[in-house]
Amino acid sequence: MTAATTPSCTIVLGNATIPSSLDESTVRRVALWTDAQPAQDTANLDIYVQADEFATVWNSPMHLSSFSSCSNVQIHVQGSLTPEISSTIQTSLLLAGLVATGERKATDTVTVQAQKRAPDVRMQAKPLLASPLLDENSLLESDLLAPPPSMSAVTTKGDDCGGREPCADCTCGRKDGSSVLLEQQLPKTSSCGKCGLGDAFRCASCPYLGKPAFKAGEEHLVLDLQDDF
């Protein structure tokens, strides 16, 4: 039984040369890096490029990410691997989800080796559903819910007395408001006995100041005065 071979692809950019051991019929030559189309089910990718024309032919750092099936990538730079070329290659590897594993130097070629990043185990973990989920209704006891408020209760803004009489130690202001309302509802009484004689005999704080004179017992008498015409 023969072992299955791993699918591979060799791409030559521009005027780069290939080793004599490679079959020219299996090599794909392109003028620009973006002209190379990714092959299906390709695990190994070898790219040959000359250093002096790298800036021209390697025209897109993003294009390497389109070779998503490649798990092993080798970029053979023929000539001097300058910091600019190295930085561009590292950017392409990062965008493609690859990580550089090392460099191999020959007489006139520097090979940058890269592999797919190892999958994060935490991202693949699934939630454990061995134990059943709790019923939300079982967390509530019957005595935790208060009965609904009575619809007949008088709604009072600013307090929670619910229409009841104010407490003896009232702190919400309901008792003070009730006292003011009670004072307004009580009939006004004269302390000097001269309120009914008119404004000439009334003091400055008289509640009947500005009203016509009246007899005792007629303080709250309202006359319906209308014109005859």
Strand pairing category for 44-50 and 72-78: parallel
Tell me whether residue 112 is exposed, middle or buried, using C-beta atoms within 10 angstroms of its C-beta: 0 to 12, 13 to 18, 19 or more: buried
Q: What is the pLDDT of residues 56-87, one digit of tens each?
A: 999 998 999 888 888 899 999 999 999 999 99
Range 208-217, long-range pairs (CB < 8 A, 24+ positions) = none
Q: Distance between CA atoms of 171 and 77, rounded to whole angstroms? A: 85
Over residues 141-197, the pLDDT tens digits come to 666 666 776 666 555 555 566 566 767 677 776 666 666 555 555 556 666 777 778
Q: What is the pTM of this model?
A: 0.50
The yes or no reply on domain 8-116 and CATH 3.10.50 is no
Domains of the chain by residue range = 8-116, 183-215
